[in-house]
Amino acid sequence: MDPKILGGVFLGWSLGANDSANVFGTAVSSFMVNYRLATILIAIFVLIGALLEGAPGLETLGGITEQSFNTAFLISISAALTVTIMTILKIPVSTSQAVVGGILGIGILQKHIEFQYLYKVIICWIGTPIGAIFFSIILYPSIAFFLRKLHMHFLTYDRMMRFLLILTGIYGAYALGANNVANVTGVFYKAGMVNKFEALLIGGLSIGFGALTYSRNVMITVGRKIIPMDAFSAFISVLSEAITVHIYAIIGVPVSTSQALVGGVVGIGIVKGIRMVSGKTIIKIVIGWFLTPALGMAFSILLSYLF
């Protein structure tokens, strides 16, 4: 394996460490699901999702501009730096947007950008939270009505919620791997450094490794401090996120699980007639939409000149 691919592995590790919280954060922080079980399930199903449905995203990200060994490495480092800075600033970050920003910086220097791929990506970015809001609005009242009809004892309800949170987390992990593996190794695949199977395998393993080794603090933060909610609302928000992210995996565009999760929570708030996400959080997300790709682009241009 070319040492330059380690830049992608590092990016995948950081992605797994951060985005695992969007899959199991609320379930773990509320003690409905054991942390170690959650991370093992994430690692397994991220890899399965990457191997089975991650290929379309490789083609989309790889098609935006031409890649070489050096540019692939610079893009992965640029994205990693961007994610780090945005995390320090406490602005919700999209690894997808950071990677695309890095790709665009290289494309500007090479004077070669395939705009049909770029337009597809941008449209899907906008549609991510909107799609999650839509699914949340549909799923919340529908499933709540069905559960009410069952007239369950509260202990039975508690067991069912635990099972549903695990099941939805598994689906969320699968969708995360299928959708976001292209962020990790898409540029290396385009550069010819790895074949398709190797790109999916390395990406899936590195995301899973991040979940296994360094996701606890982010899970607790997301679950308890950013979006605290009851078990049923957590189930609906993660399910809405997973469906949305999975659809974009099929389309072949990596999107932000964080933005999809917030969209799911906003949808629940609309149904319940309350504001579940603060205006401050929304402002940070909008800032992140613009600042993340801009930083990724700036870093890739700067690093290209330096190296």
Q: Is 50 within 8 Å of 204 (Cβ atoms)?
A: yes
CB 37: neighbour CB atoms within 10 A?
14
Q: Which two tokens stand for residue 111?
A: 């004077």
Residue 37 C-beta-side C-alpha neighbours within 13 Å:
13
Mean pLDDT by 10 residues, the chain (307 residues): 81 88 85 92 98 93 80 90 78 84 92 87 92 97 94 92 96 97 92 93 96 83 63 93 97 91 90 79 78 93 91
- pLDDT tens digits along 86-110: 777 767 678 889 999 999 999 999 8
pLDDT of residue 223: 58
Number of domains in the chain: 1
Element (H, E) at 31: none
Q: In terms of residue numbers, what domain contains 29?
A: 3-306
> How far from 110 is each of 7, 64, 139, 164, CA to CA, in Å?
21, 12, 46, 49
pLDDT of residue 239: 97
Q: Helices 6-19 & 196-214, crossing angle to 10 degrees?
A: 50
Q: Which two tokens stand for residue 17?
A: 């460490």
- pLDDT tens digits along 141-181: 999 999 999 999 999 999 999 999 999 999 999 999 999 99
pLDDT of residue 112: 85
